[in-house]
Structure 1
């Protein structure tokens, strides 16, 4: 793994001559954030050594390098999922690469199903904790101390300082945001009604099929992490029959301008 990461980092660094400080992983329907970046370089995943290729609609598949108000940023336009058949090491490989390109702060976004009765479709949730219910762990196996410690402290997976700054920005922008705990399941099926009930009983506010592996690996390498989710469906008896990927993309797209503005200002001010 170490050799592959360094090989990929060397290729990207030679291609771009660019040192990003912020990394952004763009989830379903949120790929338009790249329009806010003063783009310097675009590298399609299929041109990058050792990179997987995203297969999910709404995930375009490129690394975007550029600036936001003078801040160096790299954005993943499309992420990888365990349910696509990749290993957890492949899913999280780009996070490792980001770290060694220079990224210190990682912003992860996703679309999720809500179970908190105070949520509604279109709500923006600042993730302050997660529950890992995926069947594989990205750190399972022999640990390479060059990446990080064998046992990672997950007491603060999502940076409290970044969350507090995001809340200040949301107030300034007049955007309503919620706090929430995200539960990660494998997918690719949307949850049954009983599974939604389970998620609620376990103490989560929303559920999705991504994010948790990337955050674990980012914390393994001591990166500061901020997570944001758009509620694209509600796990309720009167609405569950209509849940499908097209509806998720539409709901995420409708919330995208607010999410983009929030992330952009966070990069500028934090």
Structure 2
């Protein structure tokens, strides 16, 4: 059972371990999804901390998720990069999955920029499409906010604007300026780790979803409870089950992530430089 006092103690100990290595106060926190971890290599004056050295930090076990925190500057802006998120399907409790968000908030981050790899369900979203998330559907049927409240949380956070509309507009304008094609759409979260069945994909499509994945939503809900604006960005790495005529595999996710790396990096760097809280 979640104990708010114990959680506060664990967050304090994690903050102290990081502060022993750097006093940088991040303006933004960026969480990097499958195949996107190389963006962390672009952070300047970086202090790299393996998450295994941060007390109480949950372990990431997924290929393509390095399990490091990178603190430094990106486009002159102080950032915390979470290089390798954790997921419900790895056996973590919902509160453990969102531990990095509470840690980022405690370190001073004012906004949360979430990226992920996702399966495309919108027929016009080919692999390699970059999608700004406009909204989400929680089909994991769980929340990190269940039970007692952590320090600084709202009991009933408003979710009418889970992916900040103004920040999203700014990011879209940046994409147009830099010639980066993108789409907008609704992301649906499933618990995983199995990929979805063709019948499930047809159901999700009828519910209004454009992309599907196994992350991001719990972090967005946690950020909402802490009053942190969120921007969400999906890389469509494959067509969802039943839409591409062959079995799905994680290697394909990684391959497409590498294919869009330069385009994604250009967009993310410009977003960090020019948009979001305080810009």
If the TM-score is normalised by the length of the shorter chain, which range does it land in? over 0.9
Tell me the equivalent position of 2:114. Answer: 108
Deviations 1:123-146 (A, max 9, x none): 0000010011113211000123x3
For 1:1-270, list aligned pairs within 5 A.
1-144=7-150, 146-235=151-240, 237=242, 239-270=244-275
| Unpaired segments ≥5 residues, structure 1 | none
State the 1:8 CA deviation: 1.1
State the 1:147 CA deviation: 2.0
CA contact (8 A) 1:39 1:64 kept: no
Q: Distance in 2 between matches of 1:143 and 1:17?
A: 28
Q: Distance in 2 between matches of 1:165 and 1:149?
A: 27
- Give 3-state SS (helix, strand or coil) of 2:127's partner: coil
| Residues 1:238 and 1:129: Cα distance change in structure 2 (over 3 Å) | closer
Q: Distance in 2 between matches of 1:96 and 1:238?
A: 37
Deviations 1:42-71 (A, max 9, x none): 100111000011100000110001101221
- Give 3-state SS (helix, strand or coil) of 1:241's partner: coil
CA contact (8 A) 1:125 1:178 kept: yes
CA contact (8 A) 1:25 1:79 kept: yes
TM-score by length of 1: 0.97
- Give 3-state SS (helix, strand or coil) of 1:264's partner: helix
CA contact (8 A) 2:154 2:225 kept: yes
Number of residue pairs matched by the alignment:
269
CA contact (8 A) 1:36 1:264 kept: no
State the 1:224 CA deviation: 1.0
TM-score by length of 2: 0.94
Q: Distance in 2 between matches of 1:95 and 1:178?
A: 26
State the 1:72 CA deviation: 0.2
Q: Distance in 2 between matches of 1:115 and 1:187?
A: 17
| Unpaired segments ≥5 residues, structure 2 | 1-6
List structure 1 runs of 4+ shifted beyond 2 angstroms. 235-238
- Give 3-state SS (helix, strand or coil) of 2:98's partner: helix
Q: Distance in 2 between matches of 1:68 and 1:113?
A: 28
- Give 3-state SS (helix, strand or coil) of 1:15's partner: coil
CA contact (8 A) 1:193 1:240 kept: no
